[in-house]
Structure 1
């Protein structure tokens, strides 16, 4: 029995190590899909139509498609690499809570109290959503801020961790969650645009109409349509799920924990929940960045401090 448990732990470790190694491969795969799509839509189809200018209407449609495509592609890549290269948020060295929630005190913990707490927490497994008590990570040997979870792939605690995404080769957490959501949004809009733009060509592929272009270009167009249709449908479902999570001010991990929690203390209402992720400045809602004012007045954007509902009394959690 002991050998079996050891083997299982070893297999999980190897799985996490393999996920770390997927980094450059997944980025190249994303860029490859973007490249194939660009070749099929711009170089094989709508680019030649615009240059040939066989008709005013055809040229106008081609221009609109190409302008929208390049705009959405730029926003998609900006959001994507913002998720890839932005640290999701780690626990600062020697972090300690400003409030001793365990005893209900509002003063910062003293050095002696902090040391006693560290020693006592090493033998206890505490839940963030099941108790207001301070939590401790045995793997990192440090205290865990509210809504923080340990990622086995990254090998560290991540602030407001949502999940580890192999597509962005990074954890999705407090500091890059908005960027991830924008990546989903622009991926959906981009793939939907490509799907609709290539639909007439896809239909013509199965008809008796003679289609101009080389066999390679026709095959690439067919493949691009199928790929983008698949991504449109899958990303749509993922977007709907995350819209629900944002509206309730929860994460993917917390959504499973909430099933046994009748009262969610971080649900501040849809408007305030939205601001906890996107900020208050409307000019920044659709770009992977925050205004300095939002970063200053909304502590949740920093990932360490989260306001709770006014009717929360600490009971039942």
Structure 2
């Protein structure tokens, strides 16, 4: 026996219950509609924090680990590698944030659009009751973007955007570059620790145990 929610979903998916007369025509496209940016306070704050953390990592790697190093070749090579990865990470983050993730035109569930689909008898279509649009397969409505997104994976506050059909590659690249700079920084921290540990044992003090305790000799 189907539950009430299942029955409602079946009704929503049936063409004769689309009720196109309740949908307003989609808005006319203009130049402002081509700029995709989600005005969500939490998402904007998370995006700013993401950029701040990358720049903070840049500061620590350059001014704490590389510049104090006496090996110029080591500092130069690792500085170039880290800066390139950080630039690619921020560029991918920006593209993931300002790229339309695959939003379905809002309000396209009109009588004229449904007739243009030339539906066959018994053919099932999806309608979103929130944004009044005909949803393609694997499209889901995002309550933050207030749009249906094609092949929506999730809404990521760290990029202040949905991850969907059109910007998924930028999101994957962003996570990959962040993983690479994290791994690179971790390896440099390991070398930095070993270098400092070796310096402490070879150039500072040698401890020998005397009768009255430990004596420090240069």
Q: TM-score range by the shorter chain?
A: 0.5 to 0.7
Is residue 2:115 matched to residue 1:110?
yes
2:53 to 28, 33, 39: 33
What residue number does 2:151 align with?
160
Q: Greater strand share, 1 or 2?
A: 2
Q: Deviations over 1:224-276 (max 9, x none)?
A: xxxxxxxxxxxxxxxxxxxxxxxxxxxxxxxxxxxxxxxxxxxxxxxxxxxxx
Offset of residue 37 of structure 1: 0.8
What residue number does 2:141 align with?
150
Paired residues, number: 159
Q: Is the 8 A contact 2:106 2:131 kept in 1?
A: no
- Which moved further from structure 2: 30-39 or 74-83? 30-39
Offset of residue 92 of structure 1: 2.4
What residue number does 1:3 align with?
none
**Other structure's SS at 1:67 match:** helix
Instruction: Determine which structure has more spread, i.e. the larger CA radius of gyration.
Output: 2
What residue number does 2:187 align with?
196
State the alpha-carbon separation in 2 of the partners of residues 29 and 203 from structure 1: 31
User: Judging changes above 3 Å, is the alpha-carbon distance between structure 1 residues 135 and 63 closer, same or farther for their aligned structure 2 residues?
Assistant: same
Alignment of 1:114-153 (within 5 A): 133-153=124-144
Is residue 2:164 matched to residue 1:173?
yes
Offset of residue 40 of structure 1: 0.9
What residue number does 1:262 align with?
none
Q: Is the 8 A contact 2:107 2:131 kept in 1?
A: no
Q: Greater helix share, 1 or 2?
A: 1
Unaligned 5+ segments in structure 2 are 1-38, 202-218
Offset of residue 91 of structure 1: 1.0
State the alpha-carbon separation in 2 of the partners of residues 48 and 205 from structure 1: 12
State the alpha-carbon separation in 2 of the partners of residues 30 and 111 from structure 1: 44
Root mean square deviation, CA, Å: 3.1
Offset of residue 59 of structure 1: 2.1
State the alpha-carbon separation in 2 of the partners of residues 37 and 135 from structure 1: 46
Q: Deviations over 1:249-308 (max 9, x none)?
A: xxxxxxxxxxxxxxxxxxxxxxxxxxxxxxxxxxxxxxxxxxxxxxxxxxxxxxxxxxxx
User: Judging changes above 3 Å, is the alpha-carbon distance between structure 1 residues 111 and 77 closer, same or farther for their aligned structure 2 residues?
Assistant: closer
What residue number does 2:23 align with?
none
Offset of residue 196 of structure 1: 0.6
Offset of residue 48 of structure 1: 3.4
2:174 to 157, 178, 183: 183
Unaligned 5+ segments in structure 1 are 1-18, 97-107, 118-131, 211-317
Offset of residue 30 of structure 1: 1.0
**Other structure's SS at 2:40 match:** helix
1:70 to 83, 87, 95: 83
